[in-house]
Amino acid sequence: MDTKLFVGNLSFNTTEDDLRTLFAGAGEVTSIQLIKDRETGRSKGFAFVEMSSQSEAESAIKQFNGYSLNNRELKIDKARPKQEFSPSGYNSRSSQGGGGWKDKNRRTGGGGGTRRY
């Protein structure tokens, strides 16, 4: 069931209690994860809200997508699964020819410079 919602465009002052109060208007809130910066502890401006049923989640999207909370227009959608991180440093685009970060930083010889031989 799709009961987990992505809530974006949050004010940095928005709290979990603010979100719980708002989303309770659409049904029972199971959990809230307000995403914060590890170093500063400051909100990153988005959260995940889990509702108790799919119908409540859909109701919350209809009611609150575009809703103004703390002078910010909320962007709400069904949460997508987290993408896995590849330990080799290549992202999922590398198999499609997009290259990962290692490709972009690899020295391939030649190239500019001012040294003359």
Alpha-carbon gap, residue 40 to 34, rounded angstroms: 14
Segment 61-72 shows an average pLDDT of 96
Measured in degrees and rounded to the nearest 5, phi and psi for residue 57 equal: -65, -45
- pLDDT (tens digit per residue) in 5-52: 999 999 999 999 999 999 999 999 999 999 999 999 999 999 999 999
Alpha-carbon gap, residue 109 to 74, rounded angstroms: 48
Segment 42-67 shows an average pLDDT of 97
The residue among 56, 57, 52 whose CA lies nearest residue 79 is: 57
What predicted TM-score, i.e. pTM, was given to this entire model?
0.69
pLDDT tier, 86 (very low <50, low <70, confident <90, very high otherwise): low
pLDDT of residue 82: 82
Two tokens, residue 6: 């992505």
DSSP 44: E
Alpha-carbon gap, residue 10 to 46, rounded angstroms: 6
For the chain, list the domains and their CATH numbers. Answer: 4-78 (3.30.70.330)
Distance of CA 76 to the CA centre of its chain: 11
pLDDT of residue 2: 82
pLDDT of residue 36: 95
